[in-house]
Structure 1
């Protein structure tokens, strides 16, 4: 059976990390988190934020290595522009993986803001975007099908179960 690349995208504080972490626990798939990769780059190089495409490019290459060896991958990132969405899809298909693109949304703006203002990212030194930065962020509309999961309506466990079911052949 070919590996699966599940791309979990969405605005900061929408619930991506919580859902992707639960999904990784359920499936045993490798889990790549762009925030972790980017913070490691900032911590260990002279580079600073914003990094631009650097963290994503590192993640594409790590995902490619894993997929090449038959290991399924969950990639969690904002994935706000079509170029990154295409790059994830191309990474998966180039290495024989089935690709499931998911968009995590939080349809309740009060809850979304609460999450943004109270969350602990769990990454030492990482400073998450503020609520005004989240609302002002560039986020291109999707132009192709994807699985949309609303974390204002589902728990992380329910969201992970929905994604896991969609990822089955």
Structure 2
């Protein structure tokens, strides 16, 4: 299974993806980490490279029979179709989960805390600030996607809900 957790920064994707990876015993791929590694290794600019590396890592893990949880913004139809292609090639089930935070104040708090924490550490990659997140070009989904709202539920509760839905669908 290839489980994609998508959504704009600061919604709680990473916390939920890590929890699901632990419970499933799945490989965990975070595109932000791949992009940070590329930039910190001297890459001047990252566009499609981070996603391309993540697609390859997902394919390798799926070929070993492992489930993969991918944590990425996945903002446009092109990245969504690329993930679907990885799943098709591996003969794996694809599940898209869009993670949102419907509480704007909580979402902003998360983004600002993450941004401030990253500024305290060295490195060329840093998460976007609130203005960048508000202006993110995140396009609507035209394929099947489950939506999970992290505004009022604990990560553990949401992970249990996703796992139950995986079993029953």
The reply to whether TM is greater than 0.5 is yes
Q: 1:72 aligns with which of 67, 72, 84?
A: 67
Counterpart-to-counterpart distance in 1, 2:48 and 2:160? 30
Aligned to 1:130: 129
Q: 1:112 aligns with which of 107, 114, 123?
A: 107
**1:17-166 mapped onto 2 (5 Å cutoff):** 17-45=14-42, 47-49=43-45, 51-119=46-114, 120=117, 125=123, 126-166=125-165
Report the Cα offset of residue 167 of structure 1: 2.7
Q: Report the 3-state secondary structure (helix = DSSP H, G, I; strand = E; otherwise coil) of the residue aligned with 1:132.
A: helix
Report the Cα offset of residue 57 of structure 1: 0.4
Counterpart-to-counterpart distance in 2, 1:164 and 1:26? 9
Please report the TM-score for the alignment, with normalisation by the length of structure 1.
0.91
Counterpart-to-counterpart distance in 2, 1:167 and 1:70? 17
Report the Cα offset of residue 166 of structure 1: 2.6
Structure having the larger proportion of residues in helix: 2
Counterpart-to-counterpart distance in 2, 1:166 and 1:56? 27
Q: CA RMSD in A?
A: 1.5
Structure 2, unpaired ranges of 5+: none
Report the Cα offset of residue 68 of structure 1: 1.1
Please report the TM-score for the alignment, with normalisation by the length of structure 2.
0.91
